[in-house]
C-alpha cells in the first residue's frame, strides 16, 4: 500500500493511508467488514463528538492530573471540527461491524486524537488513554444512540411535522362548510364536512407529535459511567452525573444518568418504546396519504372529490396521466419505518448478559426512520397537501346519490322502514325520496322537511 504510515494497536502494526486521520483499529475494521454500503450514520458521529467533548470536560474537573487543560483544548477543538462537518471522510466504517459499535467508538477516538495532535503541534493525545478516558464502547455507543435520537427528532422531524400540521389547519379553515359523503368500510356513509375530514388528518399528526415528545423522557437516560459491564470500572465518582450535565448544556435538551447502568448497557427498551411513536406517526401518515389518493382517484372514473398537484408525467405509455406520487412516496416511507421498527424490536431482544450487541443496526434503523419521516412530511406538504383543492360539484353529486342519507329518516319512519327505502332505491336505481314516497312512508312535503343533509354533520 503506497503513501501509508505505520500505526499500531494491541494486536500489532497496521498500515494506514497518510491522508487519513484514523488509526489502526479503524483500519482493521475498514478492511475486515466490507459488508453492504450502509455506513455509520452521520447523526451518530455528531452525537459521539458531543459526547467525547463532554467526557473530556468532565474528566478535566474530576481527573485534572490526567486531563490537562492542554489536552482538553485539543480534544474540544477536534470535536468542534467534527460537529461543523469539516471531517466527513474520516468515518468510513460499515454498520455491519461489531455489535457493540466498538470500532466506531475507536474511529472517533483515533480521529480526535490525531486531529488534536495536529492542532497541538505535537504528540499530545492517545486515543484510549485520553479521548476514551473514563469510558468504554459499551457505555458510549448506547449513549450516542439516545443523544442522536433526541437531537435529530427535535431538530428535524418535529419542525417538519409542525409545518405539515399548520398546512392542514389552513386547509381545514379554507374548506369549512363544504358537504361531502362520509365513508366507512370503503362504503358510503352519512355526510360530513370536508373541513371535518381534514381536521381528522390534522389531529392524527398532533397526537403523533404528542406521543413522540413523551418519549424524550425515556431517551434522556444515559449509560455513560457504566463503562464495560455497568460497574463503572475506571470512571471517577460523579463522572456519570457530571457528563450528563455537560451534554445537556451542549445540546440544549435535558439528559441524566441512568440510575441502573446494568440496565442501560444490556437493554434497548427505551429505543423500542421511542421508535414505537415513530411507527405510530408512520401509520398515521400512511392513512392520510391513502385517503388523499383515494379522494383524488380518477379523475373521471374514480372518486374525484379532490384534485392534487400534477408534478410530473405519470406514465411512459399513457399520455396525460398524472399519478399521486407524493402519496406513494409517503406510503413507502411508512412501510420502511414499520420494517425498521420490527428490526429494532428484534435487535433489542438480544441483550445477552451485560451488553446488547446489536447497537449499530438499532442506530441505523432508528435514525433512518427519523430522517425519512422528516423528509417525507416536508415533501408531502410542499408538493401535495399545499395544492389540495375540493371538487365541490363532485362532492355534492356524491352526497345526493348516497343512500346512507336514509339515516336522516330514522326518527320519522324508523330504522327498518328506512332500510326498505334504501333497498328499493338501490334495486330500481331511483332516488331515496322516490323510494320513500313509493312505499308510502312519507309525503313529498314531509320528506323535504326531515331530509336535510347539511344538518347531519
The residues annotated with a catalytic role in the active site are 185, 315
Tell me if the bond preceding 299 is cis, omega within 30° of 0.
Answer: yes
Buried b / exposed e along 352-381 (16+ C-beta atoms within 10 A): eeebbbbbbbbbbbbbbbbbbbbebbbbbb
Question: Roughly how many angstroms between the first and final C-alpha of the chain, as a whole number?
Answer: 76
CA angle 96, 224, 43 (to 5 degrees): 45
Alpha helix positions (H), 155-268 = 158-174, 194-219, 239-251, 261-266
**How far is residue 157's CA from residue 371's CA, in Å, rounded to a whole number?**
7
394 neighbors 297 (Cβ within 8 angstroms): no
Sign of CA dihedral 295, 296, 298, 301: positive
Distance of alpha carbon 351 from alpha carbon 345, whole angstroms: 11
| CA 140 – CA 135 distance, rounded (Å) | 7
Contact 286/334 with Cβ under 8 angstroms?
yes
DSSP class of residue 75 equals H
Amino acid at each position: 500500500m503506497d503513501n501509508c504510515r505505520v500505526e499500531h494497536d494491541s494486536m500489532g502494526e497496521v498500515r494506514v493511508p497518510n491522508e487519513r486521520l484514523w488509526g489502526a483499529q479503524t483500519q482493521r475494521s475498514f478492511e475486515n467488514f466490507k459488508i453492504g454500503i450502509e455506513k455509520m450514520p452521520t447523526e451518530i458521529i455528531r452525537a459521539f463528538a458531543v459526547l467525547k467533548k463532554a467526557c473530556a470536560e468532565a474528566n478535566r474537573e474530576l481527573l485534572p492530573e490526567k486531563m490537562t487543560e492542554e489536552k482538553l483544548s485539543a480534544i474540544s477543538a477536534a470535536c468542534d471540527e467534527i460537529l461543523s462537518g469539516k471531517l466527513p471522510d474520516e468515518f468510513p466504517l460499515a454498520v455491519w461491524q461489531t455489535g457493540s459499535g466498538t470500532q466506531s467508538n475507536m474511529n472517533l477516538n483515533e480521529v480526535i486524537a490525531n486531529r488534536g495532535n495536529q492542532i497541538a503541534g505535537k504528540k499530545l493525545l492517545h486515543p484510549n488513554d485520553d479521548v476514551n478516558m473514563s469510558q468504554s464502547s459499551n457505555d458510549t455507543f448506547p449513549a450516542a444512540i439516545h443523544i442522536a435520537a433526541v437531537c435529530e427528532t427535535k431538530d428535524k422531524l418535529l419542525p417538519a411535522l409542525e409545518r405539515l400540521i399548520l398546512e392542514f389547519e389552513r386547509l381545514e379553515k379554507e374548506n369549512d362548510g363544504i358537504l361531502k359523503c362520509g365513508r366507512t368500510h370503503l362504503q358510503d356513509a352519512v355526510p360530513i364536512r370536508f373541513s371535518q375530514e381534514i381536521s381528522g388528518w390534522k389531529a392524527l399528526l398532533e397526537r403523533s407529535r404528542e406521543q413522540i415528545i413523551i418519549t424524550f423522557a425515556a431517551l434522556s437516560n444515559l449509560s455513560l459511567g457504566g463503562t464495560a459491564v455497568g460497574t463503572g470500572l475506571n470512571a471517577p465518582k460523579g463522572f456519570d452525573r457530571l457528563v450528563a450535565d455537560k451534554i445537556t448544556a451542549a445540546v440544549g435538551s435535558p439528559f441524566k444518568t441512568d440510575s441502573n447502568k446494568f440496565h442501560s448497557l444490556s437493554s434497548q427498551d427505551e429505543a423500542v418504546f421511542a421508535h414505537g411513536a415513530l411507527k405510530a406517526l408512520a401509520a398515521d401518515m400512511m392513512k392520510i396519504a391513502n385517503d388523499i389518493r383515494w379522494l383524488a382517484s380518477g379523475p373521471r372514473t374514480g372518486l374525484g372529490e379532490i384534485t392534487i398537484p400534477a408534478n410530473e408525467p405519470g406514465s411512459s405509455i399513457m399520455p396525460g396521466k398524472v399519478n399521486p406520487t407524493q402519496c406513494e412516496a409517503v406510503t413507502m416511507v411508512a412501510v420502511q419505518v414499520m420494517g425498521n421498527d420490527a428490526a429494532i424490536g428484534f435487535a433489542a431482544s438480544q441483550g445477552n448478559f451485560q451488553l446488547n450487541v446489536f447497537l449499530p443496526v438499532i442506530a441505523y434503523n432508528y435514525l433512518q426512520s427519523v430522517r425519512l419521516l422528516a423528509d417525507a412530511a416536508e415533501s408531502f406538504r410542499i408538493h401535495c397537501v399545499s395544492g389540495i383543492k375540493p371538487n365541490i360539484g363532485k362532492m355534492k353529486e356524491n352526497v345526493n346519490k348516497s343512500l346512507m342519507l336514509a339515516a336522516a329518516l330514522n326518527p320519522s319512519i324508523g330504522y327498518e322502514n328506512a332500510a326498505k327505502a334504501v333497498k328499493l332505491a338501490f334495486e330500481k336505481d331511483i332516488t331515496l325520496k322516490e323510494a320513500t314516497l313509493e312505499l308510502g312512508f312519507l309525503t313529498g312535503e314531509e320528506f323535504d322537511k326531515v331530509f336535510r343533509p347539511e344538518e347531519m354533520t
